Structure 1
């Protein structure tokens, strides 16, 4: 089964890290990815650009309306995501709980649909 694991943060959180703490987080993230790659569970890992570059598009009476910023409220926004292929939801939750910022930040786990539109 494939799952999307989204890592959320906010500018206040990222700005609170010292250079040493941020470097340690990057190293822990690299170790997390390496472990998943070695287990064969990592399908892909992607970082997202600064939230200030995000645009939300809606159609209003057939007219495209573009607004700035992420859709989520409260200053929280996705920072990166992983696609993992795990044996079960329990395993995907275990993987998500081991992400370095899971102790202070939400890590979201979404089951993905296969190409036929059914849950994998």
Structure 2
């Protein structure tokens, strides 16, 4: 089953705390997931300052600079994984390095039905 592991963190803390993961550690973990057949895809995201939000209401398009919501934590990246069940997905998510300074939201992928 496919799961999306969404990495959330306060942007300024993601790279500034002593326990903050370095890119090399995140890349090494991603490579280990790839080798084990669990990683289907994943990427870190640029700063929340680069975000653009698009909404369509009543047929009118609205474009706003910044993230979709004002929150303490922002989406920092994602891992798309293949796991046998939620327990295995949680086990994989718990080892994602930024979990030490933020949180990982684990969500099953819903397949679209034609």
Residue 39 in structure 1 maps to residue 48 in structure 2: no
Gaps in structure 1 of 5+ consecutive residues: none
Root mean square deviation of aligned Cα? 2.1
> Structure 2 CA distance, aligned partners of 1:79 and 1:96?
14
Residue 62 in structure 1 maps to residue 62 in structure 2: no
Residue 107 in structure 1 maps to residue 104 in structure 2: yes
> Structure 1 CA distance, aligned partners of 2:34 and 2:15?
29
Q: Which runs of 4+ in 1 moved over 6 A?
A: none
> Structure 2 CA distance, aligned partners of 1:56 and 1:42?
28
Secondary structure in 1 matching 2:8: strand
Residues 9-50 of structure 1 deviation map (CA, whole Å, 9 limit, x = unaligned)? 2232135247xx76x522221221121111101101122222
- Which stretch of structure 1 is more off in the superposition, 45-54 or 88-97? 45-54
Which residue is equivalent to 2:83? Answer: 86
Which residue is equivalent to 1:5? Answer: 5
- Which stretch of structure 1 is more off in the superposition, 81-90 or 102-111? 102-111
Q: Give the alignment's TM-score, normalised by structure 2.
A: 0.85
Secondary structure in 2 matching 1:71: coil
Gaps in structure 2 of 5+ consecutive residues: none
